[in-house]
Chain A
Amino acid sequence: MRRWIHCGHKGMDMFNMDKEQCCVSLSVNPSRGLMDEKFIILVQKALPGFQLTIHASYHCEDGNSWEAFAHYTADAGGTVNVSQDTSLGGTYSGVEAMGLLWSLRPVPGSKPGLRLRKKNVQTPMEVTISVYQGHQTEGFVDQVPLASVLVERWYMAPGVCRIPITEEGLTATLFVPAGNGPFPGLLDLWGGGGPLVEYRAALLASHGIASLALNYLTPKTTMETGKMVDNQYFEKAYKFLQQHPQICDSRIAMLGLSLGSAFTLKMAVYSQVMKVRKCLLSRMDTFTHVKFQNNEMIWRDLLLPIPTDPSFKVDVGRLKCPLMLVVSEDDQNWPAPESAKDMKEMMERAGNSHLLTVLSYPNAGHLIEPPYTPHVRISMFRTVVMALWGGQMVEHSRAQEDAWKKILIFLRENLYDSTKPGATTLSHL
């Protein structure tokens, strides 16, 4: 009987397998999921007590490679269930169902300051999950795994439409959920790292909210005239949503991240045109003198102290819609905790603090992205400088997961008037 090696090819004898090798089976469910959905990774048919490494590999659009790995020991039934079992080491430890995604890091030898961001949201992120024998920490590329599966992670649910928008001088992308609608609408303002970041809007549309990702830094008009956009640009974007036949014009939210939150707040408070139903911000605000640490720029101190003069700030005491602030307590880029505190005080004085919800996360950094996106403490900003964003990997990843769930519930409660927050439909997140 021909001796065979489960993981080997004919002509490839990478392992010196002079012993019968038990064959493991590997499954990931779902194999096609949204970026914010949990999956279950199961290794079966291993020998009891078998030591193995589960590895995740991703080659992103810019050609860089990312990986994560964790060490497990099969139980008495020869099984490893990543959602229930303890990782003994690797890029994460402990019981972490999604650790193989959020602990992804550039492979050794990569250039510094990389950040994992998907530009083309119409195709899935393809992650290869593999099982290797033993507890390994390097050299995965040179080995043949015992088993591997390809997993697709999507930003767009089936039926979501991606529509580039250029009317009225706007540079934006609209994502419309499947179905007839009408849907609640959302204006999504990314940060200074822009210009047009689509993945969050795509994901929100996958949750039933028609979302417009707006380029307000380098739209066509700015490129042609050299002039930055004014308030009218945002109001045009808002009106576009209101007038869209598939969008409910009285149920529109705004979501701002980093620099985008400054514009979100300003428009929500002051605009006569934009009657925003609710606001979500992950950090905010206004500007001096740059600090460095290990050649990494820290910008938070540029914005401190928070001005006491109200004319330098958005008067949030005048806000009439619910506002959720997502605050990272280790934000090294913007002074998020200080700003949030100041805003809360302003709203308490004005008597509208009942509209305010603050989510504050210790040891989370500036870049609170959709869940399971790898944390980067530093990265190259606009290919020019190395920026320190802050945050510790585990706490930051937990913050991303928790914040996203709460953001979706907040949006659903306020845009759907749902008194039952749909915990069951979000329980898979």
Chain B
Amino acid sequence: MWSKCRWSTVMFSFLHRRSSVMSQTPPIVSVLPTRGLVDEKFKVLVENLPPGRPVTVRSLHHSDNGHYWEAFGFYTSDHRGTVNVSKDQSVGGTYTGKEPMGLLWSMCPVPGSHKGLRLRKLNMCSPMLVNISVHSGHEGFRDGAPLASVLVERWYMAPGVKRIDVQEKGLLYLFSPGPFPGILDLWGGGGGLVEYRSALLASHGFATMSLDYLSCGQPVFTYVETAFNFIKDHPQVIADRVGVVGLCLGSLPALYLAADSTVVKVVKQITSPLLLVSGCDDQNWPSFETAEDINQTMRAAGNDHLLSRLDYPDSGHLIEPPFSPHFRASTFVTTNKRKAMILWGGKTKPHSDAQEDSWRKILSFLQQHLCCSLNAKL
């Protein structure tokens, strides 16, 4: 029949196959949720470690363009053998302190990568896959195999969001059945069709159109007005609830639509609410100075009550959706096809805090002004 020693005999003979420390059962790493939107927080928990054990919790992502990105934090398990990334302090790594989302926003290219890389998801219909693993020790954690790992999906598109190719215009992200407030999303001077913010805004209930306004072959402002009309007239969009979001170069046509365009039926002054988000360490555009100038202009015109400003000290130019990795500089291809290293500015932690804070406030601003307001009587 059975004998107890058979179990332990089998266990030890199995062990020599593995390189990890396995005189006991392996630790368990879990992430909640395992499938979330990119702007949602997650909780990372490691259990079943020996008490007081130094471990490294690491994230690893293989980007759409073939590069590897990682982040890691150094922890010590408590008396129960647990590490809770949301509550415990990281004492080193790519982030320190109590940082629930540090494993994402502090990601950087793995050692040996090219310089000047930028992490951007190209295919919105598939999730960003992040491997979260736990390793023994701190320095030198890469020398051994992970003790345990789990795969996490981070999505730009919520269930039900549809990506629609709008011929000659751009891409529309919709969430059925509608109708919904609409947004025209104007990315920056990097060109091309950058979709991820539109996909994320649609996941928050806005029918959003990404527009490539730089290679359209038409005057930009005319083209942008055409796109705005397209959204306004779309059967799933509420015509009098359309906003514009502009980043970097894209903020120029956005301001034009708000101030000078006849399409938006406003006079030469801005008569729609305006939110300006500036990184005070922006090394690419003089964002803060520009925001100050706009503020003064509107004050003189008597419409500065429409203006809200978010200024973030030590933040750089590229204020992206939350938990996106920060990079102070990256490679940029100029209009005459030359590669340059562009300094965007910002320090990682303050910039990441700015991304998280501003996104929440951008969504709140859009919801306040584009979604209906409560009516006293029904």
Chain A residues engaging chain B, CB cutoff 8 angstroms:
1-2, 4, 6, 8-11, 19-23, 25, 29-34, 37, 45, 47, 50, 78, 124, 126, 144-145, 148-152, 154, 157-159, 178-180, 182, 208, 245, 248-251, 272, 275, 277, 320, 412, 415-418, 420, 422, 424-425, 428
Contact = CB atoms under 8 A, between A and B. Distances in A.
Given A9-B178, A47-B378, A250-B11, A2 B146 contact: no
Nearest to A412: B28
B151 A178 contact: yes
A416 B240 contact: no
A263 B372 CA distance: 61
Contacts of B239: 2, 4
Interface string B121-141: 000000101010100000000
A180 B146 contact: yes
Interface string B9-40: 01100100110001011101010111111001
A4 B238 contact: yes
Contact of A418 (B47, B150, B179, B236): B47
B67 to A, nearest CB: 20
20 contacts: A1-B240, A4-B179, A22-B375, A25-B205, A32-B35, A45-B371, A45-B374, A150-B160, A151-B159, A157-B150, A158-B34, A158-B151, A178-B149, A179-B151, A320-B1, A416-B28, A420-B48, A420-B81, A422-B48, A425-B45
Interface in B266-301: none
B304 interface: no
Q: Which of B8, B24, B146, B158 has its CB near the most chain A CB atoms (within 10 A)?
A: B158
A275 B374 CA distance: 65
A40 B146 CA distance: 34
B188 to A, nearest CB: 29
B127 to A, nearest CB: 8
B238 to A, nearest CB: 5
Given A9-B179, A19-B378, A20-B375, A249 B14 contact: yes
Nearest to B129: A158
A21 to B, nearest CB: 8
Nearest to B149: A179
A98 B299 CA distance: 52
Given A11-B235, A180-B146, A275-B2, 18 more contacts: A4-B179, A22-B372, A29-B40, A33-B35, A47-B378, A50-B378, A78-B374, A149-B160, A158-B35, A158-B127, A158-B153, A178-B131, A179-B133, A179-B151, A250-B11, A275-B6, A416-B26, A416-B28
B224 interface: no
B167 to A, nearest CB: 21
B208 interface: no
Contacts of A248: 11, 14
Given A25-B205, A45-B371, A178-B151, A208 B82 contact: no
Contacts of A272: 1
A179 B150 contact: yes
Contacts of A22: 372, 374-375, 378
B164 interface: no
B159 A182 contact: no
